[in-house]
Structure 1
Amino acid sequence: MAVEGGMRCVKFLLYVLLLAFCACAIGLIAVGVGAQLVLSQTITHGATPGSLLPVVIIAVGAFLFLVAFVGCCGTCKENYCLMVTFAVFLSLIMLVEVAAAIAGYVFRDKVMSEVNKDFQQQMQSYLTDNHTAFALDKLQEDYKCCGAANYTDWAAIPGLGKDRVPDSCCVNVTAHCGVAFNVTDIYVEGCVEKIGLWLRKNVLVVAAAALGIAFVEILGIVLACCLVKSIRSGYEVM
């Protein structure tokens, strides 16, 4: 009876953890989508190690949600194969998350280099491509910035000249506010640095969340192994 009661407790904890896994999966997908939206506005030329990281995060989140579903079915039915599958897949997810974290650290400088390069390339098409102009305007308004390194980058764009910047650079955006502008009326800081600051600010949040997810996953693997051992030993788990 003591073992049976202990396994009931294990099952209850597994159910709680599976709910946590679902929440973590949704969180990972949200983080991946957010990072992808930010990078897609600036990195547009092909697949690079930095631009693929959000895709990996989204894939891991979706896979974790699927694994949580498998674990829920295995726990409910006390199925040996499903619980073993759950434990193995959860271990694989942890390995992928560790690899993604290492890749994110290794390629952190490369990501910013890609952002800077692509931002400057898109600036060249500002007057000829409406889609690019819309994306850059939104980026400058959202991050309260102007140009790649600073507002003077726009002086090198054909058709603008030294006395004009996009209206989205203005502190108070109005029609033609970027023509014959005063420096005090526009944002002078570059967007690349602002994006870098945003990424660095959120790295701590992501790191803390990753540690929390890793702890929950390790606990889930341990509890799953306990339940597998009980099922294999032939105990009846209610």
Structure 2
Amino acid sequence: MALGNCYTCIKYLMFAFNFVFWLLGCAILGVGIWLRADESAADFLKDSSKIDTIYTLAYVMIAIGFIIMLIGFLGCCGAIRENQCMLGAFFVCLFIIFAVLLGFGIWAAAAKDSFRDYTSEMLEEGVKNYYKDEKQRAFMDSTQTYFNCCGYRNGNTDYNVVGEVPKSCDPDYYRKPCDDEFYKWIENRLVVIAAVAISVALVLILGMAFSMILCCAIRDTLA
């Protein structure tokens, strides 16, 4: 059914938006895969059962990215076919994803500060149980090797109460604690997650507006 020139323009703008939206889905999917498959951090990540949050965030972003790609295809079909049902479903899906991404991004931005104590406790527990727990030892060895650090807050002296300094501590970095380096690693990834999630959520507002305008135009032509 033919629409007026203005609404025809909106229809193709909607189609263009959905192509960009599909690309954003690819970007989110890519960030999720990057977080999950970061080979440089894989060793110390897999040795810690307490840092599963990063992997959980990665899986969530992979799922959201895949869903966005599918919804982008739905929006393209709805725009080209001028189908109210598809456009309505597209709007609802966008709103749900908007709410999820916005909340997800705000949480990631706010959570980075709370992770300071969390990472400190992880490392402190790792040092205290270094000679008691094999998993804690593997985690600390991987962390100290990856970040070129030692201990958690005071460097090699953190091990004075539990035994000798482990071999994974390079003598050149005895005075460099792992606390700050480990926290910065977590913080950087949470910042990326927050930036991507909030940016895409804001873009979705445009998509919702386009879909409603186009849906109303189609309804008016049927009246």
- Pairwise TM-score range, normalised by the shorter structure: 0.7 to 0.9
Alpha-carbon distance in structure 2 between the residues aligned to 1:205 and 1:106: 13
Q: Look up the match of 1:87.
A: 91
Aligned residues of 1:56 and 1:100 also touching (Cα < 8 A): no
Tell me: higher relative CO, structure 1 or 2? Use CA pairs within 8 A at least 6 residues apart: 2
Correspondent of 1:214 among 191, 195, 201: 201
The Cα shift of 1:220 comes to: 0.9
Aligned residues of 1:17 and 1:216 also touching (Cα < 8 A): no
Aligned residues of 1:53 and 1:100 also touching (Cα < 8 A): no
Q: Look up the match of 1:165.
A: 166
Scaled by the length of structure 1, what TM-score is found? 0.69
**Alignment of 1:44 onto 2:45:** no
The Cα shift of 1:134 comes to: 5.3
Aligned residues of 1:41 and 1:139 also touching (Cα < 8 A): no
The one-letter code matched in structure 1 to 2:84 is Y
Q: Look up the match of 2:176.
A: 189
Structure 2 CA distance for partners of 1:128 and 1:108, relative to 1, 3 Å: closer
Task: Give the paired residue count.
Answer: 214
Alpha-carbon distance in structure 1 between the residues aligned to 2:107 and 2:34: 18
The one-letter code matched in structure 1 to 2:167 is P
| 1:217-238: CA deviation from partner (whole Å, max 9, x where unpaired) | 1111111112211222237xxx
What does 1:1-238 correspond to in 2, within 5 Å?
A: 3-35=3-35, 40-41=45-46, 44-45=49-50, 53-123=57-127, 124-125=129-130, 129=134, 135-152=139-156, 153-158=158-163, 161=164, 164-167=165-168, 169-170=169-170, 181=171, 185-186=172-173, 188-201=175-188, 206-234=193-221
Scaled by the length of structure 2, what TM-score is found? 0.73
| 1:189-217: CA deviation from partner (whole Å, max 9, x where unpaired) | 32231132244456655555445323321
Structure 2 CA distance for partners of 1:113 and 1:29, relative to 1, 3 Å: farther
The Cα shift of 1:3 comes to: 4.8
For structure 2, the 5+ residue unaligned runs are none
**Greater share of helix:** 2
